[in-house]
Amino acid sequence: MAKDIAPYTETLKTFKKHYNEKEVLNGLMKDVEIIFPCLRKVTTCVSIGTGYGDYDLDFLRTCLPYLKTLIVIEKNEDCLRELKINLEEFSDNLEVYIIKSTIERFIQINELGHWFLLNEIVEDSSPEKVQKVTSFFMGKIEIVLAFHVLHFLDQAHRRALYKLCLGQWMWPEEKLNNIFVFVSMSGEDSTIVRLIKELTQDSLVISEIIKNELNEQGGFCLHDFSYECLMDVPDINNLREIVKSMFPDFEVNESSLAEVAKKIVPNGKSILKASMCLYAKKN
């Protein structure tokens, strides 16, 4: 009999119960609000790989109080279902457009200039809605959020995304309120990075790599908020949840997982390392 597969949202929530990243990020977002008060002027935002909106909506509440338009790019049905519930608190003040698509497909539509295809991926689409979304994408987007999502993209798609953000949406003369914000794991010695490498033989795309790529694409770092979180990994099931939350299609080998657990988290306690970076376009 096949095992029941938990909705992706539940896998994410289970994972997040084991560390205090939300609390840490909320504190850092308050710092962002103080350091970059100009963000209060921002009215348009694109959220890439939004999930159910956990961190993205925290950023909106804290840093973008006068946001008028939010464009969400997210493909997962479970995440979108919960995101819509979570967005209800903003409903009176915020116009929301949902692009139900993979990031890769959205990038392809942009590269080809086939904006008419938005009709297929804009939720509850109408000619008027598609036209409005197209006008946003062909104009200036003031802030782009990419929280724990860039590691899902291969290098070619990451670079295409940077080109879209820095080369098309962002204007250098508006750099203090025209920003690309990403959150990603950092440090080769970080528990999650080591875990993924041991199990999959692949290197996780960490913040250091992303920053180098952004610099090469004409961006510069306004601020790097590096942080650490305490992580509680009491048993093998928790490690499985961590891997599945980051790589849903990866088949976890139980014996390999047990060996990795002994090696990386022998006492069930560890540290999650990550960065929240704010980037702008160079003059």
The pLDDT mean for the chain works out to 86
The dihedral sign for the CA sequence 73, 68, 112, 184: negative
Query: Does 197 score more than 90 pLDDT?
Result: no
80 is a domain residue = yes
Average pLDDT rounded to a whole number, residues 235-243? 70
- Residue 17: give its domain's CATH number: 3.40.50.150
Query: Cα(280)–Cα(283) distance, rounded to whole angstroms?
Result: 9
Average pLDDT rounded to a whole number, residues 40-49? 94
130 is a domain residue = yes
Tokens 């309120």 appear where?
Answer: 177
Query: Does 188 score more than 90 pLDDT?
Result: no
172 is a domain residue = yes
233 is a domain residue = no
265 is a domain residue = no
Element (H, E) at 34: helix 21-35
Tokens 């197209």 appear where?
Answer: 134
Count of domains in the chain? 1
pLDDT at 176: 64
The CA-atom distances, in angstroms, between 131 and each of 91, 118, 125, 230 are: 21, 9, 10, 46
Element (H, E) at 239: helix 236-246
- Residue 226 β-bridge partners: 275
Q: Are 141 and 169 in contact (CB under 8 A)?
A: yes
Query: Cα(207)–Cα(251) distance, rounded to whole angstroms?
Result: 25
| 29 alpha carbon, distance to own chain's centre | 15
Query: Does 56 score more than 50 pLDDT?
Result: yes
Query: Does 173 score more than 80 pLDDT?
Result: no
97 is a domain residue = yes
pLDDT at 193: 81
Domain that holds residue 81: 8-186+204-228+275-281
Percentage of the residues of the chain whose pLDDT score is greater than 90: 53
Average pLDDT rounded to a whole number, residues 25-54? 94
Bin 165: left if φ > 0, else alpha if -120 < ψ < 50, else beta: alpha
Query: Does 183 score more than 90 pLDDT?
Result: yes
Average pLDDT rounded to a whole number, residues 83-107? 92
268 is a domain residue = no
Tokens read off for 121: 């991926």
220 is a domain residue = yes
Q: Are 282 and 172 in contact (CB under 8 A)?
A: yes
pLDDT at 1: 32
Is residue 253 exposed (0-12), middle (13-18) or buried (19+ Cβ within 10 Å)? exposed
